[in-house]
Structure 1
Amino acid sequence: MHQFKHSSPALLLLILWLCGNKWKIAGGQNILRTEVRTCTEVKRQIFEEVKTFSAYIHGAQELKFTVDNCKPYAPLIVGGSPASPKEFPHIARLGHASINKLTEWFCGGTLISERFVLTAAHCFSTNRGEVNIVRLGDLDFGRESDDARPEDFRVRRYIEHNEYNSATIYNDIALVELERSVTFDAYKHPACLPTNSGDGFQKMVAIGWGSTRFADSDSKKLLKVTLNRLGFDQCQRAIAFSDIDQLPRGVENRLQICAGSNEAKDTCSGDSGGPLLAYHPDYPCMYTVIGITSYGIGCGIPGQPGIYTRVYNYIDWIRINVWGQR
């Protein structure tokens, strides 16, 4: 702290607060939070490190720089469009594999570590069977030649948030632990977890294999759609004038995010548990999962909100259950 000996106490407090947002003080040492470190390590797989040196200078030091290996993607369009190969390598699909080997897929999720997938708690209280299988690395369930590397994982256990209530759908968040670890590559690696509330993001990306319109069957192709953050008052009015039985206290801003559009684009049945994403501010072509698809009023109805569980509010719960850290 020698270099700060002339600094004001207020400045020192600010520096400590900023550091504390991403760093944990333990045993007198600063340790980067595991979820931030995981995201940083994955970034190294997306960026190719290139080494070079000057042949004209004797004894010149080796220089290192990074080359962006990911390719640019077209802007997202109204109503949803097919995702590109390797664009969303963290997307998971959850389902039930029966004894006769038939699998019914009915929820989405987000890979956040080598062994854990983040999803919605309500995915475990359906009449479609217990979630016992997770698929990663897929793109189009109707094609084999789609530049994807699908891999199925058996489920070891799932962890619902202890305050989840299916009658109210507050705290609609859960974790799925896989029986074996995922080997990260360009087709399968985790999304980043948020380091702040995400309120600064006005445009977000929702993805899934859900219905493309009300009462339609699920899509075989992974779809993406851009959504706008909807104001708290607009969201509360929509809930108040709907006939839904859940959310008795309305939307709780600390626990939930509202997103939608004035056009016919939304998340629908089959997207439950999937991610609401924001582009990572520091790592190109990487995403931060800021929400989990939880509930909606209708499907694709202009101006009606989709309700997403706010991931940042549960970071401590995730950290304890995934990495055993507080």
Structure 2
Amino acid sequence: MNGSQPTPHAFPFMALIQNRLLNQSQYESHCGGTLLNSMFVLTAAHCVDKIKFPDREFSVLLGAHDSNNSGTRFNVTEFVHPNFTTDDPYADLALLKLHNEADITTKFIKPACLSTSTSSTTGEYTVGGWGYHNNQNRSNVLLIGTVVKTDSKNCPDDLTFNMDKQICAGPKNDLGDVCNGDSGGPLFTIHNDNDCLFEVFGVLSGGALCTLRYSFSSHTLVSFYREWIESIVWPDETQYILED
């Protein structure tokens, strides 16, 4: 992430996906995610694809700012969208069920809301993650940036963009573009006067090199897949979804 460091724990729904080799103790930061409630985190399917990572086990770090010395780790079970394949990556979504319930009554761990809209009213979004900074080294601390929705023609062909299922975005004022390691993180807006403080529109799926002057990224549109998300996260209760 080519962004700035926020106040620690200002974005308590941000989740850090980590992995390790089976039967090993050392975890590596891998992707980002969004806490939806006390039991589920939303991320990108390609981050936890067992075909791609057959020898890895995944966990989630919640309540983290500096990944080296903060946060609570949760073991997880992965639910990858059934339509996702590496050849057809539009349904690039996965849900991670925590093996233990997260305490969302603290100020460090809070869920975000899923949007039912296809776009924010301003076309601006916030992105965040612990990915590579200027494509050089992973950031140990959470970084945040601002991106703007752009015409789908700006998203490179290798992003396999689909305007009905994805949002194409680019950095505002050449700042805040996403990098390797930020995949799975949320595309969201902030509402200071709303019951839902953080509204998530998309999940980062892919992007151009973040060293480019104008680097665009594709984000899986949450509203297009919300029925699948709800069926797993809230099968028998009132959905925690931000209505229009």
Q: Compute the TM-score of the two structures, normalised by the length of structure 1.
A: 0.66
> Which ranges in structure 1 are unaligned for 5 or more consecutive residues?
1-77
Q: State the match for 1:122 in structure 2.
A: 46
1:254 to 147, 164, 170: 164
The residue correspondences of 1:171-320 to structure 2 (distance < 5 A) are 171-184=91-104, 185-214=106-135, 216-235=136-155, 238-239=156-157, 244=158, 247=160, 251-261=161-171, 263-280=174-191, 282-283=193-194, 286-320=197-231
Shift of 1:131: 3.9
2:18 and 2:58 in contact (8 A); partners too: yes
2:60 to 134, 138, 143: 134
Cα pair distance change 1:221/1:128, threshold 3 Å: farther
1:158 to 78, 97, 104: 78
Higher relative CO (CA 8 A, sep ≥ 6), structure 1 or 2?
A: 2
Q: Compute the TM-score of the two structures, normalised by the length of structure 2.
A: 0.87
Q: State the match for 1:51 in structure 2.
A: none
Shift of 1:195: 2.8
Q: Distance in 1 between matches of 2:201 and 2:40?
A: 16
2:131 and 2:180 in contact (8 A); partners too: yes
- Pick the structure with greater CA Rg: 1
Shift of 1:115: 0.5
Q: State the match for 2:242 in structure 1.
A: none
Q: State the match for 1:86 in structure 2.
A: 9
Pairwise CA RMSD: 2.2
Q: Aligned AA for 2:154?
A: Q
309-318 vs 194-203, which moves further: 194-203
Percent of pairs with identical residues: 32
Q: State the match for 2:25 in structure 1.
A: 101
Greater strand share, structure number: 2
Q: Distance in 2 between matches of 1:108 and 1:124?
A: 11
Cα pair distance change 1:129/1:111, threshold 3 Å: farther
Helix, strand or coil at the partner of 2:228 = helix
Shift of 1:129: 4.3
Greater helix share, structure number: 1
> Which ranges in structure 2 are unaligned for 5 or more consecutive residues?
240-244
